[in-house]
Chains A and B, each alone.
Chain A
C-alpha cells in the first residue's frame, strides 16, 4: 500500500450552525422569473386600466358583461361595469386572475421539488439532517410566499393605477377582501402544484400538469356559466368559490366560499407530502 505523508493534525469540533429557512430561500431564488413575470403582468394591466379608464368610462358594457358567455369567461355577471373598481375587478380579479396568476403559482409549486432533483441538490440535501417532511414543507412555504408576493404586488399595482384616475372610488377594504379571496385560490394552486411535484420527476411536467388542472377548472367554470343545465360543472371546481371580482365590483361575497380553495389546497398538498415521504427518489 502506498502511504505517503500522513498528518494527524487536530481540527476543532465544528460548531452548530442555524439551519434557518435555507431551502425556502433557495427555492424562492429559483422562482424569480415566474414571480417577475406575474409582477410585470399585474403592473402592466393596472397601468393600462388607469390610463384608458377615462375613455372607457362612457361606454355601456352592461349588456355585454351580463351575457352568459362573457359572464362564463370572466367568472361573474356585472350589471354595472362603468366604475373604475369594476374595470380593475374585470381585468385583475376575474377568472383571468385565477387562470394567469394561479397558473404561475401552480407552476412554481409544481416545479419546486423536481427542480431540486434535476439540479442534483435533492440527494445532497436529504443526505443531511433534513427530513423529507421538512424539505417538502419548506418548498411548499416558498410557493406560498411566492403567491403572497404576487398578491401584495397586485394590490400595489392597483394603488399605482388609481393615481392616474381622479375619484377612482376604490374601496380599500373590498380590494383587500378581493385580494384575500384571490390569495385563497393561489394557495390552492400551491397545494395542487406540490402534489404533482411529489411524484413527477420533471419540473416542466409537474408544473405543466398543475397548470393543466387550473386550465381545466377554468374551462369547467366557463362552460358551466353558459347554461343552467351545466351549472353543476361550475360548482365542482374552485373558480366558482373565488368571488374576487364580486368583492371588488359589487362589494358582496359569501363568507365561507374562500375556505373551499384553501381546503382543496391543504388536502392536495398533504397528499403530496405523504406521497413524497413514501416514494423512492429517482436516480440521476
Chain B
C-alpha cells in the first residue's frame, strides 16, 4: 500500500522546555500511503513531536518536513494539506456540532466533502450544544474535523481515545479505507491492538528518545509464539531452554510454557524425542514486545534503532 516516498521526514528533532529536554534528537520518516504508529508511555514526547509537526510549538533544533514542506517555514501551505486530531478534543460548549464543523471548514478554506459519510458512519450528533457531549462524542466530532476536508496527510494523537469498542473497530476500518485511497496517516496510540491491526510500521519513543522504528511484521516475529506442551515422560526444563529460539521456560509437573522466536523446527525435533500428550501454540501478543521497549532498562539510548 505504501510507496517508498517519504511524506514525513523528522531529522534530529530536539525540543527543550527550560532545562527539561522533552525530545532528544529524534530522526525518522513516514512513507506515502503508510499508517505509521507512534508509541510510547505517558510523557515520552509523542505529543511534543506532533505539536512540533504542526508548528504549534517550535523545535529547539532539528527539522521536520511534511509533503516536502518545512513544518515551520511553510506552515501555512502545509496546513492546507493535513488533518489533525488532538489528543484531548475540547470544543466550545455553547456551539453545536454543526456550527463547530462549519467554523473549522471555513478556517480550512475547503468544503467538507467527507462530512456526510463521516456523520453517518460514526453516528455524530450535530444539533445539540457541545457542552452536553461525552468524551466519546467529542472524539467523534474531532475525527470528523480531521478528515472532513479530505486532507492528504493525517496526524492523529490518540485517535480512538474515548471510543467504545464498536466505534474503535469502525474507526480502524475507516483508516484502512483512507489508506487504500492513498492517505498517509501518522498516529500516536496507547492501544496496542489498534496499532497491530492498522499500522505497517511503528516507532517507539521513551523519555524523548527513539527506541526503535520497525515493521509490525518484524515485531510480530520478534514476539514469537507461546507454546504449551505436556509430556508423558520426565523432561527437564534445562533441556528445553537449550533449544535454539526458546526462552521463558516455566514448568508445572509435566507441563511446560515457553516462548519460541523464529522457526519452530528445532523445537518440534526436540519434542519428537519424547512422548507429547498435548501441544498448543499461539502467537504472542505484540503488547509484550512494546512493553519491553517501554520498560526503563537503564541502558540509556536505543538498543535497536532501525530508523529509515
Binding site for B on A (CB under 8 A): 1-8, 11-20, 22-23, 26, 29-30, 119-121, 123-131, 280-281, 283-284
- Distance between Cα atoms of A213 and B56 in the complex (Å): 29
- How far, in angstroms, from A183 to B52 measured CA to CA in the complex? 40
Cβ-based interface call for B47 (8 A): yes
A128 and B176 contact, CB distance less than 8 A: no
Asked if B70 is an interface residue, CB under 8 A from chain A, the answer is no
User: B79 to A127, Cβ gap below 8 A?
Assistant: yes
Beyond the given pairs A121-B92, A283-B51, 10 more chain A to chain B contacts, judged by CB atoms under 8 angstroms and listed by A's residue number, are: A3-B176, A11-B114, A14-B110, A14-B112, A119-B93, A120-B89, A120-B91, A126-B79, A127-B54, A280-B17
Contacts of A18 in B (CB 8 A): 106, 109
A284's contact among B88, B93, B107, by CB below 8 Å, is which? Answer: B88
A21 nearest CB across to chain B (Å): 10
A1 touching B197, Cβ below 8 Å: yes
The reply on B288 being an interface residue by CB < 8 A is no
Q: Indicate if B86 sits at the interface (CB-CB under 8 A).
A: yes
Enumerate B215-268 residues with CB–CB distance to A below 8 Å: 216
User: CA separation between A16 and B88, bound complex, in Å?
Assistant: 28
Chain B nearest CB, measured from A125 CB (Å): 6
Total residue contacts A-B, CB cutoff 8 A: 119
Contacting pair B76 A129 (CB below 8 A):
yes
Contact A14 B111 (CB under 8 A): yes
**Known interface pairs A120-B91, A280-B58; A128-B107 also in contact (CB < 8 Å):** yes
B304 in contact (CB, < 8 A): no
Q: Is B105 an interface residue (CB 8 A)?
A: yes
A121-B92, A124-B104 as given contacts; A15 in contact with B84, CB under 8 Å: no
Q: How distant is B197 from chain A, measured CB to nearest CB, in Å?
A: 5
| Cβ-defined contact, B82 with A127, below 8 A | yes
A28 to chain B, nearest CB (A): 13
**Residues on the A chain within 8 Å of B150, using CB:** 11, 13-14
A284 smallest CB distance to B (angstroms): 5
Q: Which residue of B lies closest to A25 (CB)?
A: B103
- Which of A4, A6, A119, A128 has the most chain B CB atoms closer than 10 A to its own CB? A128
Smallest CB separation, B150 vs chain A (Å): 6
